[in-house]
Amino acid sequence: MGNYRFILSGGGTGGHIYPAVAIANELKRRYPDAKFLFVGAKDKMEMEKVPQAGYEIKGLWISGIQRKLTFKNLMFPFKLMNSLLGARKIIKEFKPHVAIGTGGFASGPLLRMAESSGVPCVLQEQNSFAGITNKLLAGKAEKICVAYDGMERFFPKEKIVKTGNPIRTDLIELKENKQEAANFFGLDDNRKTVLVLGGSLGARRINQLIEKELGFFQKNQLQVLWQCGKLYFDDYKKHNSEAVKVSAFVNRMDLAYSIADVIISRAGASSVSELCLVGKPVIFIPSPNVAEDHQTQNAKALVAKEAAILIKENQLDAVFEDKFSELLKSESIQERLGTNIKKMAMPKATEHIVDEIEKLLK
């Protein structure tokens, strides 16, 4: 039987949306006749990103709880009731065989209603510190696919399967091609390159750091490939030069990773999973502004295995140059970090997650 119906929910950030789409793509590859429906939060980015990926999506009126008392918080019980009723109606009409949640506000009501209707549920948790939605849903899920060790502090041990996080397919076959990368970005393939990644929107504190350290990089004969994000491009494009390439967005990540000798990055779950595959020395500067400070937890999980360097935002001015210089001068540290992070790569994550979903179809 190939005409299964799969319902998926994950959103709020690319870190929840991308895994859901990757899982759907793999299910579609195995079951070309299957039907798919995504459920998201009405005003969030999944409402745009999921149709771009070729899937239908329905929106629920839901949002998270703010940390301080606001009008939005007073609205939360109404939104929750409205979303639970909306989710129940969607489940009733679509009649899914399996429901898959990758985190984010909308997956709470949807999976809650799915399991109460007898639909088996699979959760996928990207971070080393579980999100609140997945923690609340864990008791009723059949399987919980995770990317890190030690997740039994959040979830029932017998439900956990360590699969890793879905990774963009173009990066799984990553080949080192320094010459092509140098030509593509207009860089010198004989010079060491620092790749700076702040996410698609950008990271203000990382951008401020890189601007401040341009002289330091120049003094060390380094060139910089700097993805500053679309919110900040107008502020930083003035630094474009022979040795500094500033862009809002890097279209060819495979080539960017090829030419990089050292990578400076945020520590979102999908970034961490990609960087494990790349196997280069990484300095993580986690965003302190995310729920449960999960980026710091993600980075710490790698630091514990001597697979990365972690510098908190509030320590950057004091320690960045020292830590960077130490890394730059030591081939053995570079090699150790690159080798250890590569050991943590799980390139077949999407396939393993779908294997777990298939078991529920049997």
The DSSP call for residue 142 is S
Does the annotation list 340 as a binding residue? Answer: no
Task: Report the C-alpha gap between 61 and 43 in whole angstroms.
Answer: 8
User: Is 295 known to sit in a ligand binding site?
Assistant: yes
> Does 13 count as an annotated binding residue?
yes
Does residue 287 have a known ligand-binding role? no
Residue 67 counted as an annotated binding residue = no
169, 351 in Cβ contact below 8 A?
A: no
Distance separating alpha carbons of residues 28 and 54, to the nearest angstrom? 11
Question: What's the number of CA atoms in the CB half-sphere (13 Å) around residue 137?
Answer: 35
Contact assessment for residue 46 and residue 138, using Cβ atoms and an 8 Å cutoff: no
Torsion of CA 333, 334, 336, 341, to 10 degrees: 130
Q: How many CB atoms lie under 10 A from the CB of residue 185?
A: 20
Q: How many CB atoms lie within 10 A of CB 152?
A: 12
- d(C-alpha 40, C-alpha 47), whole Å: 7
Q: Which two tokens stand for residue 84?
A: 């639970």
200 annotated binding-site participant? yes
CA–CA distances in Å: residue 47 to residues 51, 54, 56, 251: 7, 12, 9, 22
CB of 309 within 8 A of CB of 284?
Answer: yes
Round to whole Å and give the CA distance between 46 and 116. 25
- The answer to whether 134 is annotated as binding is no
H-type helices in the chain, by residue range?
14-30, 46-52, 71-94, 107-116, 132-137, 169-172, 178-185, 204-219, 233-236, 253-259, 269-278, 294-303, 316-329, 331-343, 349-361
Compute the chain's Rg from CA coordinates: 21
> Is there a contact between 204 and 272 (Cβ–Cβ < 8 Å)?
no
Lookup result for tokens 């929910």: 9
Annotated binding site for UDP-N-acetyl-alpha-D-glucosamine: 13-15, 127, 168, 200, 295
Annotated binding site: 13-15, 127, 168, 200, 295
